[in-house]
Structure 1
Amino acid sequence: LNLKSDCLIIIIINSDYSINQPTRVQKASEHEMVKLHCTYSTNSLQWYRQYPGSAPQFLVFSTKLRKEKQSTKETNSVDLIISSAAVSDSALYYCALRPTITGNTRTLYKNLT
């Protein structure tokens, strides 16, 4: 008996939502203020931090705080500010449109732009 099964997966992406974190690498000296910028077009945004070899950590949830005009589209902007940088702040920081942390600690989950 030879059984063959096919599977079709359809992913629908809502293009009305966008997120942009323009700075890829940010360098800072100790005690320096660091500002990480993120713009988004939904009602809320989350910031996460991930140390090498560790699971992402939730930092902050934000709703519409500051509006910006980009082209013809209105967006919201939230800066993550580290007031006095320390070596222990060295990590991957990213913003996401919806809650991102799951039980899988080996994979970085990130909403792509």
Structure 2
Amino acid sequence: ISLMYSASDEIQPTAKIMHGDKGGFVTLSCNYSGSPYNLQWYRQYPRSAPKFLLLTTVSSNPSVVNATPPYPHLSIKLNKERTRLDLEISSADVTDSSLYYCALQPTVTGN
């Protein structure tokens, strides 16, 4: 397997700390540049490994892949300019308090 990606592919959170109200709507965002193939969100609770939440392809017709089982109160969105990835948490609860990661995945080609 060979990994093809540009050295200019980068992703950075827009804020290091976010606060929200219980039952409210919270949006976590990351800005990205370059040409990643897909972008993902992960959540990590203390003393646990990160857990995959959602993935979106970065294309003219993006598709979303949910974790199994899915997290129904989480959704993912790319902005129109394809420079920001949002994780939207509806009906936020105390159990949503965690460390979140946005990650980019380079295109995988070859066999």
Given the two structures, how large is their TM-score scaled by the length of structure 1? 0.63
1:43 and 1:16 map into 2 onto residues whose CA distance is 13
| Runs of at least 5 residues in structure 2 that lack an aligned partner in the other structure | 59-77, 107-111
Which structure has the greater CA radius of gyration?
1
2:9 partner SS: coil
Q: Aligned AA for 1:29? A: D
1:22 and 1:76 map into 2 onto residues whose CA distance is 11
Whether 2:27 is the aligned partner of 1:35: answer yes
Higher relative contact order (CA 8 A, sep 6+): 2
1:67 and 1:40 map into 2 onto residues whose CA distance is 13
Q: Aligned AA for 2:98? A: A
| Matched length | 81
Larger relative strand fraction: 2
Name the structure 1 match of 2:98: 91
1:97 partner SS: strand
- Find runs of 4+ consecutive structure 1 residues off by over 3 angstroms: none
Given the two structures, how large is their TM-score scaled by the length of structure 2? 0.64
Deviation track 1:50-80 (CA, whole Å, cap 9, x = no partner) reads: 0011010000011124343xxxxxx532210
1:22 and 1:78 map into 2 onto residues whose CA distance is 10
CA-based RMSD of the aligned residues comes to 2.0
